Structure 1
């Protein structure tokens, strides 16, 4: 059976401008992943949905990004593909393996996914093709895929077993992060629990024209929108838990931009592996703020399980350079000013009160218009 020359194919992708990769390993894709790690910028994600969000963040910065995953992980990527990439029209190039292909022998856990992989892509309105094993044919497919990307549509290649020729890993990933500061909750300091609206006012008043602000889905983005609708704001309307990963991709792809992510406890708990990924790659231009009210405020105030979770300790153990508990509004202002001066991957955890602004509106711009406005801001 003929095989696709991995290096030749990867080099062709680079000629088209695809040099930013994120993914989760699969044995069918191992040689292609090795190529990406050897020749390009590759971000190893904790899960496939995170990889999609990281790549999407890089696209916001003007990169052409690739995501790699096993088809079992396509289920994990459904949320961002359906509620981030689709409404915001963020185009990524995907490669998904076809474990459990009907008519082949594979492990039992891949049987169902093998049957429904392409149907899932169809349902999500993602254009796709089986990747050819002939390099010249594959080059033609890349031109078709690139046309979709240019039109702000994602495109996926479905990869069968034995598609890629061997490519051996030449360099290992090395983490350079060092934890400098950890400030845990101090019972002797007076603790305030402002409303989220009040905390957002402070954050919004602090930002400058070198800062992009990503607000997690739900009332966080809606309240920020009511405080000020600005071109450097990105209001996530879905893909719960992906804000920090989107911020990572943006921060890595645009190092001269300050990226601030405003997260919620329910969202962060949903994809807490993002803390480990962020800590490993440790971009000094990323500030991650958690406003924690122990509830799912946007869906009726049901309790989360964050009451027993020490986010400051977890962020510090994950490799954040600075991990700080914020007791009150004065400390929040001080921590923001300190970060602006010294930088470093920083996590701020602040407890806030339950509840939100009454008669809260929603952004009137369409999601893809918010994306395009942010991209224009970044280019400037």
Structure 2
């Protein structure tokens, strides 16, 4: 078996000190080490963990993601459309529940057979982690070299690989909402482009604008392409988790997440994670048109959801509904002055632009120039 604390120290020597993930009994001792000794973010699901880690990487960290192999299926979308597409590498540890020939619970049987083929199909480099410490150190060195080439690397972990690492007593802190302002007036219903124009006009030399999948990123690009913009493609629903990872690890930047109703509904558990960790330099704006605009205008169920109350219940310090563009501008300026984790929801009209273009810059170039921008931000 591997001495867990020694293994963790080797990871730290290689620069890996930021962890995120979802628990698994096979990985509990490594998770306990991460909680005890490093920065650890407990994600609501494995896809969110990949997005959090990706934001941390762009902010300059070398992140580690921990998950059970059943949760690898939750992570497929960001692995193939965020990490692969943007060339954002993560070091992953995935358990091998349901290993062929070993007795396990019935729900792990199929996943145990397809874990390694699934990694291969996603073009993720992998190794079964050795239980011999010296061999494991050599494997870590190889993994670090792969990460340096901007490619993700996953260790497949068998039962009994890590020695016992007791979990220190955890503090049960709570982050609670200070201010909620719900809908109380008629909506102006501006276009998305009009709302994005207001948001973009308020950026400064410390602002990072993170636009969700689909027309939001495409319209922001047409308004003004800039090195502090990030246009998410694929990995729908991951933009606020990406923003969380970035905001936690680059405190000199102001992270403005521009989300949509369909995107938020897909991974609404991210609100709970954001609210608990609560970076004050994160502003989460949802432009809600009650539609999947990029795929033909099919209706979402956002008309039946009170996003403002949900965000407040999840611990966002401020959660507000804005009715018109002037109020949107006011609330953004207010956040810049007060710096509290803030959620803004605004109803917008459905898009009529059928000839909207696409960014003429490759995703990995978007990532690279954003990383350069972040490195140049000073306190």
TM-score (norm. length: structure 2): 0.98
Give the match for residue 367 of structure 2. 371
**Deviation larger for 349-358 or 136-145:** 349-358
For the residues of structure 2 that align with 1:280 and 1:173, how far apart are their CA atoms? 12
Query: Counterparts of 2:172 and 2:44 in 1: how far apart (Å)?
Result: 16
Moved more, 359-368 or 96-105: 359-368
Matched, 1:284 2:273: no
2:3 is aligned to 5
Distance 1:343 1:38 in 2: 29
Q: Hey, what does 1:227 align to over in structure 2?
A: 223
The alpha carbon displacement at 1:65 in A equals 0.2
Is 1:216 the counterpart of 2:212? The answer is yes
Root-mean-square deviation (CA, aligned residues, Å) is 0.8
Matching residue within 217, 226, 241 for 1:245: 241
* Unaligned stretches of 5+ residues in structure 2: none
Query: Matched residue of 1:230: which SS?
Result: coil
Shift of 1:359: 1.5
**Counterpart Cα distance in 2 of 1:79 and 1:117:** 15
**Contact in 2 for aligned 1:216/1:267 (Cα 8 Å):** yes
Count of residue correspondences: 376
- Distance (Å, rounded) in 1 between the aligned partners of 2:352 and 2:366: 23
Alignment correspondent of 2:324: 328
For 2:172 and 2:293, the matched residues in 1 are separated by 39
| Counterpart in the other structure of 2:81 | 83
**Unaligned stretches of 5+ residues in structure 1:** none
Question: Does structure 2 conserve the Cα–Cα contact (< 8 Å) formed by 1:282 and 1:319?
Answer: yes
- Say which SS state the counterpart of residue 17 (structure 2) adopts: strand
What does 1:252-291 correspond to in 2, within 5 Å? Answer: 252-291=248-287
Q: Secondary structure at the match of 1:76?
A: coil
Tell me, yes or no, if the aligned pair for 1:216 and 1:241 is still in contact at 8 Å: yes
Task: Give the match for residue 44 of structure 1.
Answer: 42
Distance in 1 between the 2:149 and 2:325 partners? 44
Q: CA deviation at 1:41?
A: 0.2
Distance in 1 between residues matched to 2:192 and 2:160, nearest whole Å? 52
* Match in the other structure for 1:150: 148
User: 1:122 Cα shift?
Assistant: 0.1
**Contact residue 293 and residue 351 of structure 1 kept, 8 A:** yes
Please give the alpha-carbon distance, in whole angstroms, between the structure 2 residues aligned to 1:367 and 1:306: 29
In 1, Cα distance between the equivalents of 2:206 and 2:250?
11
1:1-380 → structure 2 map (5 Å cutoff): 3-186=1-184, 189-380=185-376
